[in-house]
Amino acid sequence: NVRGSNRPKRGPRKTVPIKAATPAVKNIIALPP
């Protein structure tokens, strides 16, 4: 829902940072545990 809502609302500008932040957040979360 977040990805689909951000795409048409903000445009491709928000899609690029969200995609790059998704893998970074997953890596950080997977590092500690």
Which residue intervals of the chain are DSSP H helices?
A: 2-10, 12-30
- The more confident residue out of 29 and 1 is 29
Residue 1 has what pLDDT? 46
Check if the beta carbon of residue 11 is closer than 8 Å to that of residue 23. Answer: no
> Does 12 score more than 50 pLDDT?
yes
**Cα atoms in the 13 Å half-sphere on the side-chain side of 31:** 6
The string of pLDDT tens digits covering residues 13-30 is: 555 555 556 676 666 666
